[in-house]
Structure 1
Amino acid sequence: MHTLLALALGMVLSATSLFAGDLTITSQVTGKGAMAKDGSQVQYLSATRMRVNHAGAKVDSLVDYGHEVIYSIDHAKKVITKFTFKDMQETMQALEDQMAGMPEMVTKMMFGDVSEVKVEQLGADTVLGRPCKKVRITLGKMVEELSIDPSLQFPIKDYAHSMTMLNRAPGPMGTLFKRVYQETAKLKGVPLRTHITGLMGMDVTTVATEVSTTAIPESAWALPAGYTMKDGGKEMKDAVKSKH
């Protein structure tokens, strides 16, 4: 469950989309809270696959949209954990059923009111010498500021749908993620700087240090040899069943 949540938050840090050619963004991540392992991060994005390599966390994530599968690659433990979209969705549905009776007061204390979203235009910004538009999105307790380069596009064809399906989470967390993906997908560009605060103690800044639109080599998608493969979907479903 922790792996799923970390992966979902990592995707929030990645933001927006349209349809374009391959895109590689190298960034520096600093801060505290979930997914805040300081260090360099490289995002490889194509129309059918996405990979995020994080040197600080020593955990990479590889998403294959065509085969509807996710791989979490733990380099410290030399373990690859596989999740299918189907297993993740079934697990999240079971968790939502278990959380149905949670008092509204508790969820608002954790996430705030996730029913309304506020989008503010903050003017111009520059990252890597590239003109950007700065935007602030406030949803519940989470505040996300993005400096977006409108000349770039992410290659994922339907980002909001894909990311909502991929990162489904139970209860208000799921609602928050869904709304964030929907709003960022409307912004028409690629964020080169993000700053997220307010969600579960997060205060994380991600700043692009290099952008490339050249074709991504097949070697970037390869899983490391000699690692142990685990069925993460089965483990998640077994964990949920044990709580009944």
Structure 2
Amino acid sequence: MRTLLASVFAALIALPSLLASDLTITSQVTGKGAFAKDGTQVQYFSPSKMRVNHAASKIDSFVDYGQEVIYSIDHNKKVITKLTFKDMQEAMQAMEDQMAGMPEMVTKMMFGDVSDIKVEQLGPDTVMGRPCKKVRITLGKMIEEMSVDPSLQVPVRDYAKAMTMVNRMPGQAGALFKRIYEETARLKGVPLRTHITGLMGMDVTTEATAISTSSIPESTWALPADYTVKDGGKEMKGAMRGKH
């Protein structure tokens, strides 16, 4: 379960947005923290699918919005963990129920006050020769600076709602990322450079090194045929039952 959640979270922090047409972004990731994996990552976006391939961790994330399924593909173990949106929602609700009695002081120590958000316009920037606008979002203890290319647009009608549904997390963490999605959606563009600090020891920079708007080959979305497929929903529910 921890591997699956880490994979989803990694896709989350690397995610620029879903774009109006196919887009492939190759980036270099550097930094530190529980979810940091230095190395190259390739992000593939279509109006209905998203895939992030991580060269360093060799664990890829694949979200099929049409089928409402999330896959974590572990190339080291040759295992695919499948999790439906429904199972994710149920597991996160169960975790929220368990955390309901956690003192507010404890959650604020971990995440800060997630009701307090500040958005600052830092002026123009350039990434790969592309004009961007630089923005800093401060939410609780998390600070995210983004250099956003406004020429790239979001195709999903409700980006914030879609991302909250897919990447829901329990408690204050869930509230924090929901607000981040909402603010990112308002930027109306795609971050080509992001720098995240202040949360759980994170200090991670993701910067685009190549961009392609060519159609993504259908083979990109194919799952390895010789890998073992695990039911992530069943695994998560079993883990939750074991805590009672």
Q: TM-score range by the shorter chain?
A: over 0.9
* 1:183-203 deviation per Cα after TM superposition (whole angstroms, max 9, x unaligned): 000001000000000110000
Cross-structure match for 2:209? 209
Cross-structure match for 2:180? 180
Q: Which runs of 5+ in 1 are unaligned?
A: none
Q: Is the 8 A contact 1:23 1:155 kept in 2?
A: no
* 1:43-80 deviation per Cα after TM superposition (whole angstroms, max 9, x unaligned): 10001100000101110011000110011000011100
1:9: how far off? 4.1
Cross-structure match for 1:24? 24
Q: Could you tell me how far apart the structure 1 residues matched to 2:209 and 2:183 are? A: 25
Cross-structure match for 1:11? 12
**Could you say what secondary structure the match of 1:131 adopts?**
strand
Cross-structure match for 1:96? 96
**Amino acid across the alignment from 2:87:** D
1:13: how far off? 2.6
* 1:80-134 deviation per Cα after TM superposition (whole angstroms, max 9, x unaligned): 0000000010010011011000000100000000012110000111001000000
Q: Could you tell me how far apart the structure 2 residues matched to 1:15 and 1:181 are? A: 10
Q: Is the 8 A contact 2:32 2:204 kept in 1?
A: yes
Q: Which has the higher contact order (CA 8 A, sep 6+)?
A: 1
Q: Could you tell me how far apart the structure 2 residues matched to 1:213 and 1:30 are? A: 25
Q: Could you tell me how far apart the structure 2 residues matched to 1:37 and 1:129 are? A: 26
Matched, 1:59 2:59: yes
**Could you say what secondary structure the match of 1:50 adopts?**
strand
**Could you say what secondary structure the match of 1:15 adopts?**
coil
Q: Could you tell me how far apart the structure 1 residues matched to 2:14 and 2:223 are? A: 23
Structure 1 residues 55-94: aligned runs within 5 Å: 55-94=55-94
**Could you say what secondary structure the match of 1:162 adopts?**
helix
1:155: how far off? 3.9
1:5: how far off? 4.0
Matched, 1:48 2:80: no
Q: Could you tell me how far apart the structure 1 residues matched to 2:175 and 2:6 are? A: 14
Moved over 6 A (4+): none
CA RMSD of aligned residues (A): 1.2
1:158: how far off? 2.6
**Could you say what secondary structure the match of 2:137 adopts?**
strand
Q: Could you tell me how far apart the structure 2 residues matched to 1:22 and 1:155 are? A: 10
* 1:209-228 deviation per Cα after TM superposition (whole angstroms, max 9, x unaligned): 01111111101101012111
Q: TM-score, normalised on structure 1?
A: 0.96
1:16: how far off? 3.9
Cross-structure match for 1:112? 112
Q: Could you tell me how far apart the structure 2 residues matched to 1:153 and 1:193 are? A: 16
**Could you say what secondary structure the match of 1:192 adopts?**
strand
**Amino acid across the alignment from 1:150:** P
Q: Is the 8 A contact 1:12 1:177 kept in 2?
A: no
1:12: how far off? 2.8
Q: Could you tell me how far apart the structure 2 residues matched to 1:202 and 1:6 are? A: 16
Q: Is the 8 A contact 1:53 1:61 kept in 2?
A: yes
**Amino acid across the alignment from 1:182:** E
Q: Could you tell me how far apart the structure 2 residues matched to 1:135 and 1:104 are? A: 30
1:238: how far off? 0.9
Cross-structure match for 1:158? 158
Q: Could you tell me how far apart the structure 2 residues matched to 1:43 and 1:171 are? A: 28
